Amino acid sequence: MEATHERADVVIVGSGYGGAITALRLAEAGVRCVLIERGRRWPVTPAGDTFTTQVAPDGRAAWLDTKSPLSEAVFDKYTGILESFEGEGTTVLAAAGYGGASLTSNGTMIEPLPRLFRDAFGDSLDYDEMHERWYPEARSLIGCSPIPDELYASPFYESARTFADQAAKAGLSVEKVALAVDWDAIRGEADGTRVMAELLGLNLFGVNSGAQRSLDRTLLARAEATLRVDVRTLTDVTGVHPDGAGYRVEYRRIDETGRVLGRGSLTARHLILSAGSLGTTRMLVRARGTGALPDLDASVGSMIGNSELVTIRTGMPENNPGQGGPSAILVRDTENPHAPTAMLNFPWVDAPPGVGAIAAIGASPSPPAGSYRYDADSGEVRMTWPVDDPRVRRMTDAMHATLDKLNAANPGTRTELTISGASGNTVGGVPLGLACDTAGRLHGYRNLYVVDGSLLHGSSAGVPPALTVSAVAARCAARIVPTIAADTGRYGG
């Protein structure tokens, strides 16, 4: 099997929010780049069968694995949409596909409260600057808005309205959240002109109606339209190391069963890692451990956080089947005696009839308590999340206190279940201002950058991370793109 080798001015690894924003800004500045993505493209078709669903999941649910923590089914191996990485104390879920986490997330775009943002980032980022410039820019780039009134009032969102009413009775703050959703597509689901997906809560493995404003259909499409972004999907990076004045990225080309079709490498003058908290952190921890990038800062692999908790309550009036998605209502408990909490109503596809069940995803500011390390004996990267750490237990205690408030204010309701241990909202690993400067330039190496959720300090300040990741990425891109453009001689070309 003959290997190929190419050269490029800029290589981006990963096509999630960080990679997409950076690729677009480079293209707009006249800079050509190669964008590498391990997963496949997931084009939404009128047939409405691009993605598998929770009802009858198949291999499209899992990244080259026969199982998933989100299903009891056994699959044939396929380049599916979610990787599950088993750590000590938690399972990390990471998207695999062109568009990254935007393919599978609920699309909730929430700006953290100022105090919680400052607690999470310390002096590394200025909240006022983020609030006034970068959060608005991220919202504009992604395109997000709250649920329209007429949809919220429809029978499809009875569960969301019940959740909001009960939270208000408990004295908790209630708001409609901005969502990266095409509401006309949701209307199409409602009137039968599109396949039902979001309205039935079938969004865990992608949205077959096309209602998701995923990056492959928005920012990445804009970047590709410039003809300056060379996208390589089903291209799995196997190693990174310095090569002359740049970096060599080694990869393997695979088919949709994971079979290796070929191997190759790209030498880039500028290398941008945007493979997400799991992908980027593992890549760098391995490179430091093997000696490929020995001068990486000691903080690489540290400050991992996961604040997600799934809750189920029963005893409500019976809700509509499917419960109407995506998550439209955010409830905050800022006066919690343990820690502030936030909850998003979450559609429960197979909720049992007759029990009046409502599910919600809860979050509380996460401590940066997790870490990755390289195990030289096995050649593997290991991850640890200390479930018995008092700071971690405090998050669970806080969520139970909020649930108790809800139940006390709504007699007859009760908490049936709280589940933690598997999350797609894990962040951290390459902490901004420690492992790199505040533009994502890694210490110890020239022209090597990180622009993704690994820059967060183990916490997205008690709300889903997508908007903060995007805002930080927009800020980083504004600082590194002019330098890269000037260096490659193509600024404004």
Strands (E), 280-413: 302-305, 308-314, 329-333, 341-346, 358-363, 371-375, 380-384
What value does the mean pLDDT take over residues 45-56? 94
Q: Which residue has the tokens 């006034």?
A: 132
Instruction: Give the chain's domains with CATH numbers.
Output: 1-42+81-143+213-305+421-493 (3.50.50.60), 146-178+307-370+377-420 (3.30.410.10)
Report the distance separating Cα 164 and Cα 156, nearest Å.
15
Residues 6+ apart with CB under 8 A from 280: 13, 14, 273, 274, 429, 430, 450, 452, 454
Our CA dihedral for 452, 19, 282, 66, rounded to 10 degrees, sits at: 120
Residues 6+ apart with CB under 8 A from 413: 166, 313, 314, 315, 316, 356, 406, 407
Q: Length of the chain in residues, anyone?
A: 493
List the Cα angle 466/10/492 in 5-degree steps. Answer: 90
pLDDT, one tens digit per residue, over 201-227 is 899 999 999 999 999 999 999 999 999
490: pLDDT strictly greater than 80: no
C-alpha distance across the termini of the chain, in Å: 38
What value does the mean pLDDT take over residues 168-178? 97
DSSP characters for 320-333?
Answer: PTT--SS--EEEEE
Strands (E), 156-224: 173-176, 178-179
Q: How confident is the model at residue 2 (pLDDT cuts 50, 70, 90)?
A: low
Average pLDDT, the chain: 94
Q: What is the pLDDT of residue 491?
A: 45
Q: What is the pLDDT of residue 308?
A: 85
More confident site: 287 or 347: 287
Q: Which of 201, 251, 474, 210 is nearest to 361 (CA)?
A: 201
Instruction: Tell me the two tokens of residue 237.
Output: 């990076």
DSSP characters for 359-382?
Answer: EEEEE-PPPS-BEEEEETTTTEEE
492: pLDDT strictly greater than 60: no
Half-sphere exposure at residue 222, Cβ-oriented, CA atoms within 13 angstroms: 15
Residues 6+ apart with CB under 8 A from 244: 267
Report the distance separating Cα 487 and Cα 213, nearest Å.
34
What value does the mean pLDDT take over residues 455-461? 96
493: pLDDT strictly greater than 50: no
